Amino acid sequence: MYDLLSNHIARHVTLSELDQQTFFAALKPVKLRRHQYLLQEGMVCRHDHFVIKGGVRQYEVDNKGHEKVIHFGFQDWWITDRYSWLTGSPSIYNIQALEDSELLQIDKDTLDQLFINIPRLERYFHIVLQHTFAYWQERILVLQKPAMERYLHFRKLYGHLEQRLSQQHIASYLGITRESLSRLRNQSAQRGS
Amino acid sequence: MYDLLSNHIARHVTLSELDQQTFFAALKPVKLRRHQYLLQEGMVCRHDHFVIKGGVRQYEVDNKGHEKVIHFGFQDWWITDRYSWLTGSPSIYNIQALEDSELLQIDKDTLDQLFINIPRLERYFHIVLQHTFAYWQERILVLQKPAMERYLHFRKLYGHLEQRLSQQHIASYLGITRESLSRLRNQSAQRGS
DNA sequence: GCTAAAATGTGATAATTGTCACAGTAAAAA
DNA sequence: TTTTTACTGTGACAATTATCACATTTTAGC
């Protein structure tokens, strides 16, 4: 159950067996069924979550009632509303399971406590955040490009997830309507994939 | 000269005087005149920079030759191309001074070395990155909204910088053309600010 | 497997934003 | 100051993407 996370950690830092056990002991396993929520808007997001199995989407409901997906979370990803987590303010996001999912969760206070005695653990989270950050930086750039480029970029990076996601979620992630995405897909199919 | 940074650190963590001196000794002051570059595309970004005075913009030149501003950096902000910094790959960004500026820079290897003996320093950078991350998360959300909302949001957050930035840079940051921004400004002026 | 619900495809049309051209204005350099 | 250069405003028009309506297909629950 902790193997995935253990490997993920080992890819970035070396933790002693003891430190790793201390960390794992602080994690709480969470199971979600499809459509269940990890976070609902209005709640304060006090946990960070590592996805073991399944997948989730993080989205905002705008003032017209439209859902806007800003992020997905699949196996090997940490996911949280970093803003609410950091500031303690109520979240404007929902995080919902797209499939039956399994995650490990840890709350901020516990984690901050662990950082004091296990600096390497903070190093791990720092490195992970740097990677996530680099990903968001790229996402901003892509969101400024035309819809077709955004879609092709998505396929290049997350093509393997395309069947697991609905068109409307992909469209929302790309910042377009599901109708527009449908038309883009026709175009790109005609030109050969 | 180091007062700004010293205060910035104190806002997030407590560093011993010795640790702080060790860190400051590793920083290199950099002066830039308006239009000079801190980073040019094709170079690997090996430094992180803390802005003491002045301001910079980080932008990409797209395949049509258009400049796309993804980020600004003003007093009290750390700025770098996190992707290039992290992966060691050549940057696709330029970071250019908008005004005569003063910064403090540190390279990644030196910083990683410091982290080993000064865990609190890594805590500081980790916290700063969390804040920056929360800011980018919001930026993604805003970029999905109509142009007028983006502009008003910009004014709310960075209204105090509006006179120091050119229209074309603001427009680019908002992901619209300078012509569109000009029209948005007319509209919002007619409705009273 | 059947049925209801959800998701997707597609046409007609509207809204938003971009492009191009050029005039006017402001700012930098000589 | 003067002169050049860069920046901004505005009109006409084009391109992109959204919206709405409804048909079709797929999926989930019984």
Interface with A, mutate which of B137, B169, B176 (most A CBs under 10 A): B137
User: Would you say residue B190 has pLDDT above 90?
Assistant: no
DSSP secondary structure string, A38-93? EE-TTSB--EEEEEEESEEEEEEE-TTS-EEEEEEEETT-EE--HHHHHH-PBPSE
Compute the average pLDDT of residues B30-36.
95
d(CA A37, CA A57): 10
d(CA B122, CA B67): 34
pLDDT tens track for B139-160: 999 999 999 999 999 999 999 9
Please give the pLDDT value at position B185. 95
Taking all residues of chain B, what is their mean pLDDT, rounded to a whole number?
A: 95
Which residues in chain A are closer than 8 Å to B145, comparing Cβ atoms? 62
pLDDT tens track for B34-51: 999 999 999 999 999 999
CB contact under 8 Å between A83 and B137, yes or no, is: yes
Q: Give a yes or no: residue A153 inside a domain.
A: no
Q: Name B73's Cβ contacts closer than 8 Å, sequence gap at least 6.
A: B49, B51, B55, B56, B57, B58, B79, B95
Chunked into runs of 10 residues, chain A (193 residues) has average pLDDT values of: 95 97 98 95 97 96 91 96 96 96 97 97 98 93 95 95 96 97 90 57
Q: Give a yes or no: residue B135 inside a domain.
A: no
Q: Taking phi first (over 0 means left), then psi (-120 to 50 degrees means alpha), and beta for anything else, what does residue A30 get?
A: beta
Please give the pLDDT value at position A50. 98
B89 CB inside 7 Å of strand D: no
For residue B59, the cross-strand partners are B69, B94
Minimum distance, in Å, between the CA of residue B1 and any CA atom of chain A: 28
Q: List chain C nucleotides near protein: any atom < 7 Å from a Cβ.
A: 7-12, 16-21
d(CA A160, CA B67): 32
Please give the pLDDT value at position B193. 47
d(CA B131, CA A139): 18
Q: Give a yes or no: residue A37 inside a domain.
A: yes
Residue with the bigger pLDDT between B64 and B49: it is B49
User: Would you say residue B175 has pLDDT above 50?
Assistant: yes
Q: Give a yes or no: residue B21 inside a domain.
A: yes
The residue assigned the tokens 């201390």 is: A22
Q: Give a yes or no: residue A87 inside a domain.
A: yes
Q: Give a yes or no: residue B139 inside a domain.
A: no
Q: Print the domain residue range for A87.
A: 3-118
Burial of B26 (0-12, 13-18, 19+ CB in 10 A): middle
Count of structural domains within chain A: 1
| CATH code for the domain in which residue B87 is found | 2.60.120.10
Q: Give a yes or no: residue B7 inside a domain.
A: yes
User: Would you say residue B192 has pLDDT above 60?
Assistant: no
Q: Give a yes or no: residue B176 inside a domain.
A: no
pTM: 0.94
Interface with B, mutate which of A140, A150, A180 (most B CBs under 10 A): A140
Helix (H) or strand (E) holding B60: strand B55-61
d(CA B38, CA B103): 10
Which residues in chain A are closer than 8 Å to B157, comparing Cβ atoms? none
Please give the pLDDT value at position A192. 59
